[in-house]
Amino acid sequence: MALGDLVLEETGNVTGIRVLSSDASGINLEINLQTSGTVRGVAETTLWTYTQLTRPDGSILGGGTGVMTTQDGDVIHLRGNGSGEAGAPGGTTKFRVMIHPYSASPKYADMNTIGWVGNYDVNADGSATSQFWEWK
C-alpha cells in the first residue's frame, strides 16, 4: 500500500439535509453537498448525495455517490464511504473517507483502478473542505 500524489482539493457547502430515520440505532440523514476545487490541477465541480448514520456513541458511518465535472467537460463518477466522529455543538465533524473514482475519459481512465483516501471536514455552518491522495 502506498499513498501517491495529492489528487483532489475541494471546498463547498451542504445544500440539503433530510431525516431518513431516528431510532435506537441512531439518526440517519441524507446529505446533499456541492463542492468545487481541483482534480490533478484541473478545475472541477462535484455534486454529492450521501447518507450519514450518527450512532448513539457519536461515531458516524456514511456513504454515497457523486458526479464530478471538470472545466474541460470530463466526467468522473464517484462512490465513497467514510467514518468519523460527530463534532461538539458548533464544532467540526471530521470524516476519514475512501473514494472509488470511475471515468470513461481517457484523460482520467487510470483512476479507474485506484482509490482516493482523504479527509472530509464539515463545519457547523455547513461549509466543507476535503483533501484526497491516490492510493495505489
* pLDDT, mean of each 10-residue run, the chain (136 residues): 88 97 96 98 98 95 97 98 91 95 96 95 95 92
State the pLDDT at residue 86: 86
> In sequence order, what are the residues at sequence separation of 6 or more whose Cβ sits closer than 8 angstroms to the Cβ of residue 41?
none
- Domain that residue 44 falls in: 3-135
End-to-end CA distance of the chain: 6
Q: Using CA atoms, how far apart are residues 60 and 31, in angstroms rounded to an integer?
A: 13
* Contact (CB, 8 A) for 115 and 97: no
Task: Provide the number of structural domains found in the chain.
Answer: 1
Helix, strand, or coil here: 14? strand
What is the model's pLDDT at position 9? 98
pLDDT given at position 99: 97
Supply the CATH number for residue 25's domain.
Answer: 2.40.160.20
pLDDT at residue 81 in the model: 97
Global pTM value: 0.92
pLDDT of residue 1: 57
